[in-house]
């Protein structure tokens, strides 16, 4: 309980220290909304967007399906090893 | 709902998520261009959902870490570890797709502005948590839980940073003001990521539970 209390104090202290930084709102003009347009309006771009979009989507697919594959392999290995150890335990009469 | 029941849901979630993922590129292709950025804005449909689930996962990890520090339940520890790993995976996707978008839209790969910097710090915190769990030895789960709590506290700052500092990065307002097909495609991708996220989280927790059972079985074998 004392440990949890200390952690709570650390969290509150962090939020308190961050307050002055957050209070300094800087002026700027970030984009506030996305407006639809037609592909023809972007015909003369100097830096083509297609390779960036293609690589970005490839990264997502490789990362997601790569991770699913790794997880599936890890799960299979653990399950196989667990079945093997259980079999050895039951053969020893436990 | 028990973990066993939850695990039965995983194949369904994965199949539905995968089907939605396969359909998504066709919908994204058909969605309109954005008026100032053009084609490159379409990175948004995967970039934002991956960022959303990286932040959500940071919260899940923080909550589970809090429960673990309080009650010391192994399930909370497993959920915290699984969620931390997913922060790193989805965070990496965000941190790679973001610069690809920025290079075309802003003319630079990276800028040390608050949103990008805080996202990088968040990612590093959870990568550090995983390193701690991997190489920290006995007792490292308690320290890792403290790091998980810190990461969860950082997540709201990452979310609000674009509204507070107002620099290059679009604000959170862009999602709520999406129109027509752009809105439909975005929420389609968000739901696809949700199914995938839940399936991955449950599976990762299951791997940890079975690894713990394996350790116990080995201990019984040695007795």
| Residues of chain A found within 8 Å of residue B178, distances taken between Cβ atoms | 33-34
- Collapsing DSSP to helix, strand or coil, B108 comes out as coil
Condensed to tens digits (0 to 9), the pLDDT of residues B116-126 reads 999 999 999 99
Angstrom distance (rounded) from CA A66 to CA B125: 23
Burial of B70 (0-12, 13-18, 19+ CB in 10 A): middle
Read off the pTM. 0.85
Chain B: nearest CA to A41, how far in angstroms? Answer: 8
Check residue B97 and give its pLDDT.
96
Mean pLDDT of chain B: 93
Angstrom distance (rounded) from CA A17 to CA A12: 9
Contact at CB, A82 and B200, closer than 8 angstroms: no
B66 near B149, Cβ under 8 Å? Answer: yes
A17 or A48, greater pLDDT: A48
pLDDT at B41 over 50: yes
**Nearest C-alpha neighbor of B18 from the set B206, B198, B195:** B195
pLDDT at B222 over 50: yes
Condensed to tens digits (0 to 9), the pLDDT of residues B181-201 reads 999 999 999 999 999 999 999
Angstrom distance (rounded) from CA A21 to CA A25: 8
The residues, any chain, with a CB within 8 Å of residue A27's CB and separated by 6 or more, are B166
Chain B: nearest CA to A48, how far in angstroms? Answer: 8
pLDDT at B27 over 80: yes
Contact at CB, A42 and B165, closer than 8 angstroms: no
Polymer length of chain A: 94
| Residues of chain A found within 8 Å of residue B196, distances taken between Cβ atoms | 64
Check residue A27 and give its pLDDT.
46
Condensed to tens digits (0 to 9), the pLDDT of residues B88-133 reads 999 999 999 999 999 999 999 999 999 999 999 999 999 999 999 9
How far apart, in Å, do the first and last CA atoms of chain A sit? 40
Angstrom distance (rounded) from CA A20 to CA A16: 8
- Complex ipTM, two decimals? 0.85
Contact at CB, A85 and B214, closer than 8 angstroms: yes
Which of B69, B100, B206 is the closest to A4 by Cβ? B69
**Which residues, listed in sequence order, are joined to residue A36 by a DSSP beta bridge?**
B34
Angstrom distance (rounded) from CA B58 to CA B87: 6
Which of A11, A41, A52 is the closest to B40 by Cβ? A52
| Residues of chain B found within 8 Å of residue A27, distances taken between Cβ atoms | 166
**Which residues, listed in sequence order, are joined to residue A42 by a DSSP beta bridge?**
none
Contact at CB, B207 and A53, closer than 8 angstroms: no
**Which residues, listed in sequence order, are joined to residue B33 by a DSSP beta bridge?**
A37
Quote the radius of gyration of chain A (alpha carbons, Å): 27
């Amino acid at each position: 309980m004392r440990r949890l209390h200390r952690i709570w104090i650390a969290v509150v202290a962090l939020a308190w220290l961050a307050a002055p930084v957050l209070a300094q709102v800087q002026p700027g003009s970030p984009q506030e909304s996305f407006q639809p347009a037609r592909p023809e309006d972007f015909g003369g771009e100097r830096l083509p967007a297609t390779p960036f979009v293609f690589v970005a989507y490839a990264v997502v697919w490789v990362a997601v399906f790569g991770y699913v594959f790794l997880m599936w392999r890890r799960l299979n290995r653990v399950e196989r090893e667990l079945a093997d150890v259980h079999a050895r335990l039951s053969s020893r009469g436990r | 709902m028990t973990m066993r029941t939850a695990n039965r849901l995983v194949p369904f979630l994965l199949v539905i998520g995968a089907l939605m993922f396969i359909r998504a590129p066709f919908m994204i292709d058909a969605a309109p261009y954005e008026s100032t950025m053009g084609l490159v804005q379409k990175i948004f449909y995967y970039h934002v959902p991956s960022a959303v689930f990286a932040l959500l996962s940071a919260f899940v990890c923080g909550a589970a870490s809090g429960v673990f520090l309080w009650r010391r339940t192994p399930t909370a520890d497993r959920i915290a570890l699984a969620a931390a790993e997913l922060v790193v995976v989805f965070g990496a996707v965000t941190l790679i797709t973001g610069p690809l978008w920025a290079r075309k839209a802003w003319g630079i790969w990276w800028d040390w502005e608050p949103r990008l910097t805080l996202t990088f710090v968040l990612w590093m915190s959870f990568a550090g948590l995983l390193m701690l769990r991997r190489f920290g030895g006995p007792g490292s789960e308690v320290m890792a839980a403290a790091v998980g709590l810190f990461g969860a506290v950082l997540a709201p700052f990452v979310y609000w940073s674009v509204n507070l500092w107002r620099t290059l990065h679009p604000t959170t307002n862009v999602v709520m003001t999406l129109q027509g097909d752009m809105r439909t495609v975005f929420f389609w991708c968000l739901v696809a990521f949700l199914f995938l996220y839940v399936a991955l989280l449950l599976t990762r927790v299951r791997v940890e539970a079975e690894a713990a059972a394996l350790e116990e079985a080995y201990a019984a074998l040695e007795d």
